[in-house]
Amino acid sequence: MTSKTHSQWGMIPGDTKMEIERQFTFYNFENPEDFVFRGKKPHLQESKKFYFQEFQEFNNPQFSEDQTKVDFDYYQYFHAIKQTNAQEIQNCVNLGPLSFWYQLKLASETQIGIQGNDTLDNNSYYAALQWSQQGISNNPPIGDKIESITSTNTTTIGFPEISFFLQKYLPNHISNDTKYQNLKFTNEWAEKIMEYIENPVNYTIFIKTNYSLLNQGNLKILYSWGKQFEQTQNETYLQLIADRFLISEYYQDQIIDRAFVFWKYCIYIVNEFAEMRSKGGNQAYAGLGGIGRTKIQQIFLDENISQFKDFYMFQEPAQVLDYIRYMVIFTGFGGLTIKNTAYNYLFGYEDPFLINLKYQNPQQGGDPSISLIVNYNDLNMSDPTQAQKQGMYTGKENIKQVRQYYQINQFPYVTINKQIFDGFQVSNQLVSPWDENIQIQGTDAGANEPDLDEDSNLNIFINTLYQGGQLYNYDYNNTLNLTSILSGPIFNTKTHMLNIDPDMTQFIDVYNTDGNPQYPSNWDQTFILVEPITVMIPFFYVHRSGNLTEDAPFQLQYIF
């Protein structure tokens, strides 16, 4: 790989005239209502093939002084071929909201804390009054007290009573020491730590003090220090909590005790009330419940919800679960599927649900770091395409290293570009998507060590799969879970999901373009054909799908 031969190795087709063809098909989800409400298997109708030619350019090559390495900007784009009409409409899984649902299943306590502290039906001011007048003291100060959040706002459901926590939960589950139960907290302090900006002009206007619980960054720090206290019982962490959340400033006595009660109540909201009480036992309930309540509020705001029995003629509201489920999935999420063009599916479209989340005020659980773009393909295939920093060995000193990666994104291990919101600002960070750093090793499959024999192994690093693999006799056999990387239920599998988990095959029915049942076969094997002398790879076949996870048919039943 030299500057003089750049048109041969740095461009595809380039002087080699090698053409890369990509074939795409889609699974149209034909029966989402039957799947959600009647327990039917998803009916997935395979589309016809869409053909694109792939172009690659290694732009701005910069060689090391000894010419053994070259850095470049990797650029990739596509043109439709074979009379492909990429504007044809497909009806596929709605990845935007489902990715949000996936994230909620793994929701952090910070996310749940924000949902609980301030939503459309949980006003922060009443919560602050609970802290001082109703909840944390058995001897509330003189004056009118708010008996309950729910007595003030009849649409409120799901906020635990602080008085119950103090009088029942704390002595029964944490400590029966009376020093905690006799604590008093002032209304002034309570309002301060629940401080937020009223009627913000847009999503960029939100509380940015380092003590408000309506700031996600503060919540994250609170839970971090609190957990370290739980693990070590070191009161230093309680002192940190007291200092940051103004307990040290507003009170002269029992600082550590107050910080202890404050921390225990905050974690109680999440662990006992939001998570443990959720049907199905996962944290998705907290966030989805907020969406459901918002929709129900809009419809029933003028009704007297306390007269539920008289209005609905039954006491147990379980019979309206299907209705609530419908409101969340088909009204809140916009449906389990979404119709869009093949081009938009492949190269990116803005999802309206994600737009709402991104531009919702962070004081109410919004996240400005959310990406608006959803695409079913490689991240660097979005439109407009963005170049990626890469580096390879040229093979000058060692021919076995030719075209071997040594860095991507200027790191020797796998990284992804992720936007982070710390409660104050959004920043871009390159982070490892795995629990440990995965070393980059192998070529991009465009060229490899020459003169291989039949027993040789071949190291390929497939950048869009975010991991490498040793290909024994050039057979790539893997089902790769990319959910943690792509923040949604995304998997790489063989065509027609050949060799996936047998349990998964029980949950889906796949039909071909003729409407007949489609079953995996040996023709669906993922394979690589290698020319042995130059070790060029003319064929590589891999299948990526946006799927519901294995437990999806069960989990969807437990949204509420």
What is the reported pLDDT for 283? 35
pTM: predicted TM-score of the whole model, two decimal places: 0.70
Q: Are residues 524 and 389 in the same domain?
A: yes
140 shares its domain with 270 = yes
Domain co-membership, 237 together with 154? yes
Regarding whether 242 and 96 lie in a shared domain, the answer is no
Q: Are residues 205 and 239 in the same domain?
A: yes
Domain end (from 282, 316, 346):
282
Question: Would residue 17 count as lying in a domain?
Answer: yes
> What is the rounded distance in angstroms from the CA atom of residue 275 to the CA atom of residue 279?
9
Q: Which pLDDT score is estimated for 313?
A: 55
Per-residue pLDDT of 268-321, as tens digits, reads 765 554 444 443 333 333 333 444 444 444 444 444 445 555 555 555 555 566
Residues of the chain with pLDDT under 50: 105-159, 273-305, 466-477, 538-560
Dihedral sign for Cα atoms in the order 95, 279, 480, 545: negative
**Domain annotation covers residue 54:** yes
327 assigned to some structural domain: no
> Same domain for 33 and 169?
no
Q: How many CB atoms lie within 10 A of CB 527?
A: 13
**Do 77 and 130 have their domain in common?**
no
Least Cα distance to 270 among 207, 208, 219, 321 occurs for: 219
Q: Determine the pLDDT at residue 390.
A: 92
φ, ψ of residue 437 to 5 degrees: the values are: -70, 125
Has residue 328 been placed in a domain? no
**Residue 329 placed within a domain:** no
Tokens, residue 41: 């298997």
Q: For 233, how many CA atoms within 13 A lie in the half-sphere containing its CB?
A: 0
Q: What is the helix (H) or strand (E) element at residue 393, kind and residue range?
A: strand 388-393
Shared domain for 272 and 216, answered yes or no, is yes
Please work out, in degrees rounded to the nearest 5, the angle formed at the alpha carbon of residue 316 by the alpha carbons of 313 and 321: 100
76 falls within a domain: yes
Of 282, 299, 325, the position where a domain reaches its end is: 282
Partners of 146 in beta bridges: none
From 264, 282, 300, the end of a domain falls on: 282
Domain count, the chain: 2
Q: How far is CA 386 from the centre of its chain?
A: 22
SS3 helix, strand, coil % of the chain, rounded to 5? 40, 20, 40
Give the pLDDT score at 375: 75
Q: Are residues 175 and 198 in the same domain?
A: yes
Are residues 89 and 118 part of one domain?
no
Question: Residue 558 and residue 560: Cα distance in Å, rounded?
Answer: 5
Q: How many angstroms separate the most distant Cα atoms in the chain?
A: 90
The answer to whether position 393 is within a domain reads yes
Q: Is residue 175 assigned to a domain?
A: yes
Q: Are residues 538 and 397 in the same domain?
A: yes
pLDDT for position 87: 95
**Domain boundaries, position 410:** 6-103+359-558
Beta strands in 362-412 (DSSP E): 373-374, 388-393, 405-408
Same domain, 118 and 162: yes
Interval 486-519: pLDDT, tens: 666 666 677 777 777 666 667 788 888 888 988 8
